[in-house]
Structure 1
Amino acid sequence: MKMTDPASFADLALSHFELYVRAVAPMETFYTERLGFIVSDRGVGPDAMVFLSRNPGEHHQLVLNPRPSRRPQDSPLDHISFRVADLTGLRRFHAALSGPGDLAVDAVSHGTTWSLYFRDPEGNRLEVFADTPWHVDQPCKFAIDLSLDDDALGAYTEQRIRELPGFRPVEQWRKGHGAVLGEG
Structure 2
Amino acid sequence: MQMQGIHHVAYRCRDVQQTIDFYREALGMPLLLAISEDRVPSTKAPDPYMHIFLDAGRGNVLAFFEIPNSPAMGRDENTPDWVQHLAFQVEDEAALLAAKARLEGLGLEVTGPTNHEIFQSIYFRDPNGHRIELAANTVKPGQLERLRELAPAMIEEWGRTRRTVRHAAWLHEQEFAAAP
Fold-level similarity (TM above 0.5) = no
Look at both structures and tell me which one has the larger radius of gyration over its CA atoms.
2
Structure number with the bigger relative contact order (C-alpha 8 A, sep ≥ 6) is 1
TM-score, normalisation: structure 1 = 0.36
TM-score by length of structure 2 reads: 0.37
